[in-house]
Amino acid sequence: MHALFEESGKFLAGRILSEADTSAQVELDSGKRVKVKSANILLKFDKPAPAELIAQAQAQAAQIDLDLAWEFAPEEEFGFADLARDYFSDKATLAEQAGALFRLYDAPHYFRRSGKGRFKKAPAEILQQALAGIEKKKQIQAQITAWAEQLGAGECPGPIREQLYKILFRPDKNAAEYKAVVEASRATRLAPLDLLHRAGAIESAYEFHWKRFLFDHFPKGTQFPALQAPQPPADLPLAEVQAFSIDDSATTEIDDALSVRGLGTGTVTVGIHIAAPGLAIVPGTPLDQLGRSRLSTVYMPGYKITMLPDEVVQIYTLDEGRANPAVSLYVTVDEATLETTASETRLERVPVQVNFRHDKLDHIVTEQWLADPSFEVEGTPEVLQGKRAELTFLQRWAKHLKAGRELVRGKPENFNRPDYNFRLVGNGGAEPRGNEQVEISVRKRGAPLDLIVAEAAIVANSTWGGWMAELGVPGIYRSQASLAPGIKVRMSTKAQPHAGIGVKSYAWATSPLRRYVDLVNQWQIIACARHGKTAALAAPFKPKDAELFGIISSFDGAYSAYNGYQAGMERFWTLKYLQQHAITELTATVIKEGMGGGLLVRADDLPLVFPVLGVTGLPRGAHVRVRLGEIDEIALDVSGTLIERLDGDAAAAADGAEDSAEDDEEAVAGPIAIAVDMNETDGTPAADPAQP
């Protein structure tokens, strides 16, 4: 005697070895013996053999027309043998009965299971909905297959091109477009990014990086909504100074300016004047919400996305030739000792005489030009000559301030690495296309004008930070507990020491047109200037205000992402520079052993950190010549092979490499993390998809 039974959703047949009231021992054709509950046995038979019956039943099942079977089926619950007798004949064979069982079981949209071998047909409206869903699914699968075939043939369908960045970085894994990419990747055995690039979905490397950034951070675009630009208060007093700013030529958001009075009197007053949008922009207004949504201006070679609309910037930027609203810090300095004796904050209009551009003046304003009044440089502008004495004093003061901070730091600040300026020829500030000719120039860090601006900003930020803390007004501070390895700068609402700078407290407040935290701190500083000891009651943000913590969290994430994008675009244009100038070899300095073997090196004359493969054992600071490999503009990747080790002072170079090893490690391009998982099963998302 044989039995056909159901086991874990499968139909099996075998020879009955023994049988009790509630179960039976059945031997399968494979020789395996299983214990089967009596309720699970659906048919008992002597002939044919189990395997033969299943084969015959499957053939019969394939011939059953489900629509016809549904019409034949009774409205009430029925057994599979009942349907077989209605569909085939009242003397339905064993194979026909088993065939009916298989067909009914595999058609749950037509027949609902009511028990072992028992069924009930689905209502007509439910059946129609199910059939429509099945047909739609077939059409979607056909579309997925067609799109996958197009991708495999090197052509990108329009819907996939339109959703490229969503598919790669934030996909709906049930979407047909995503599934087509997965299917095509499996079929071609190409990584999704390579597949899409080959199919023309990525028009250019620059567009890929730019649109990915917009997708992540500006999904609604970079245009500003129509908002009315607020005007500054009309009753601000006019400052009795002639200020000047120092920025590069591309700067339109001029946040800070300086003034000097009292030279030769023994007591000098240095004015540090900060653009004051906080005098008119009110917390909670649409313009504030706009600034809070962007949090910072985004910089990149040849272009920028400003935090505030241009019409607002133009009202408050410290343009030359007009009196601009400002929050001014006046610092009284002993002219002989350069010690600070007093400070005062005022809200006023500050006449700005000139906007100096350091990229046009660094070759003039040198240590020699400042130290020797008789030293002249051809082409020195008259207005610069008129400010020579003020600049000379400011540089003396800046060097004094820097030396004092270095005593607190416990070691000098290293300016052994230059800054690099990028210029896209003919770009004119418009959105780059990615094929512009790029020029890279070097600007030595710590140059006189750079030092003056940096030290003045530190004075303002540390003075105002301490003042807010003294008055009990919360602010947003940057602090660093120590210079020990791994101790990084963090942001908080507490005035704590910043070991890296060497000050007791440090609150960003000197770039309110470009950074939202500076605007927040400016509101608090304005309250201090207006209300003094009662400022804590009048300030927009109160102590332990949860909103401040939210701003810090949002700003940290956005500022890090913006800086990361800027670094990536600087790397992109550096790689473009190599291609445009057919540079195949570079001299470089070893930084450290690479994470995956080889060496990590920094180019001597370009802002480029990259791995040198296949060589180990060279010390940090070793000077080498490297042959460059193939450049990947999508991955922002290039590697090199060692040509030779050059003579040089490895120890001296190592000193400069030590402080920046972590930053250099981060500067090396890594693989682009996409969310397309070629290994996931259909309809089942990966457990932990990679995030961009």
Q: Quick one: pLDDT band at residue 673, thresholds 50, 70, 90?
A: low
Instruction: Quote the pLDDT of residue 104.
Output: 93
What are the chain's domains?
1-121 (no CATH), 127-202 (no CATH), 241-562 (no CATH), 582-643 (2.40.50.140)
> Which residues, other chains included, contact 40 with Cβ-Cβ below 8 Å and sequence gap of 6+?
5, 6, 7, 116
Tokens of residue 241, six digits? 């100074």
Q: What is the pLDDT of residues 409-418, one digit of tens each?
A: 888 887 777 8
Nearest of 162, 257, 242 to residue 511 by alpha carbon: 257
Contact 270, 333 (CB under 8 A): yes
| Residue 658 pLDDT > 70 | no
CA distance 675 to 586: 35
Q: Could you tell me whether strands 243-247 and 340-357 are parallel, antiparallel, or unpaired per DSSP bridges? A: parallel
Q: What is the pLDDT of residues 192-245, one digit of tens each?
A: 888 998 898 888 899 999 999 999 999 989 999 988 888 889 899 999 999 999
Q: Classify residue 247 as left (phi > 0), alpha (psi -120 to 50) or beta.
A: beta
Instruction: Quote the pLDDT of residue 554.
Output: 94
**Mean of the per-residue pLDDT values for the chain?**
89
Tokens of residue 487, six digits? 């101790």
Q: What is the pLDDT of residues 403-436, one digit of tens each?
A: 999 999 888 887 777 888 898 988 777 788 888 9
DSSP symbol at 88: T
| Residue 611 pLDDT > 80 | yes
Q: What's the whole-number mean pLDDT along residues 546-557?
A: 93
Reduce the DSSP state of residue 120 to 3 states and report it: strand
Contact 236, 325 (CB under 8 A): yes
Instruction: Quote the pLDDT of residue 667.
Output: 58
Q: Could you tell me whether strands 111-115 and 23-28 are parallel, antiparallel, or unpaired per DSSP bridges? A: unpaired
Q: Quick one: pLDDT band at residue 683, thresholds 50, 70, 90?
A: very low
Q: What's the whole-number mean pLDDT along residues 313-324?
A: 93
Instruction: Quote the pLDDT of residue 595.
Output: 66
Q: Give me the long-range contacts of 31-40 (CB less than 8 A, separation at least 24).
A: 34/7, 36/3, 36/5, 36/7, 39/116, 40/5, 40/6, 40/7, 40/116
Instruction: Quote the pLDDT of residue 444.
Output: 75
Q: Quick one: pLDDT band at residue 637, thresholds 50, 70, 90?
A: very high
| Residue 136 pLDDT > 60 | yes
| Residue 665 pLDDT > 60 | no
Q: What is the pLDDT of residues 281-315, one digit of tens each?
A: 999 999 999 999 999 999 999 899 999 999 899 99
In angstroms, the first-to-last Cα distance of the chain is 63
Cis omega (within 30 of 0) for bond into 48: yes
Instruction: Quote the pLDDT of residue 596.
Output: 66
Q: What is the pLDDT of residues 37-84, one digit of tens each?
A: 998 999 999 999 999 999 999 999 999 999 999 988 998 999 999 999
| Residue 359 pLDDT > 90 | no
Amino acid identity for residue 276 in this structure: A
pTM to 2 decimals? 0.80
Q: Scanning the structure block, which residue is given the tokens 């599934």?
A: 179
Backbone angles phi, psi at 414, to 5 degrees: -95, 125
Question: What b/e sequence results for 289-312 when a residue is b if at least 16 CB atoms lie within 10 Å of its CB, and e otherwise?
Answer: ebbbebbbbbbbbbbbbbbbbeeb
Contact 518, 526 (CB under 8 A): no
Contact 101, 117 (CB under 8 A): yes
Weakest-pLDDT range from 71-75, 272-276, 644-648? 644-648
Instruction: Quote the pLDDT of residue 226.
Output: 87
Instruction: Quote the pLDDT of residue 680.
Output: 60
Instruction: Quote the pLDDT of residue 682.
Output: 46
| Residue 134 pLDDT > 90 | no
Contact 373, 388 (CB under 8 A): yes
Q: Quick one: pLDDT band at residue 653, thresholds 50, 70, 90?
A: very low
DSSP output for 128-168: HHHHHHHHHHHHHHHHHHHHHHHHHTT---HHHHHTHHHHH
Nearest of 211, 134, 206 to residue 166 by alpha carbon: 211
Instruction: Quote the pLDDT of residue 686.
Output: 35
Q: Quick one: pLDDT band at residue 687, thresholds 50, 70, 90?
A: very low
Q: What's the whole-number mean pLDDT along residues 512-521?
A: 96
- Entry field: residues in the chain: 692
Q: What is the pLDDT of residues 453-476, one digit of tens each?
A: 999 999 999 999 999 999 999 999
Instruction: Quote the pLDDT of residue 659.
Output: 45
Q: What's the whole-number mean pLDDT along residues 474-503?
A: 91
Q: Could you tell me whether strands 640-646 and 609-613 are parallel, antiparallel, or unpaired per DSSP bridges? A: parallel
Q: What's the whole-number mean pLDDT along residues 383-400?
A: 94
Choose between 102 and 665: higher pLDDT.
102
Q: Quick one: pLDDT band at residue 689, thresholds 50, 70, 90?
A: very low
Give the number of other Cβ atoms within 10 Å of residue 270's Cβ.
22
CA distance 165 to 685: 18
CA distance 363 to 380: 10
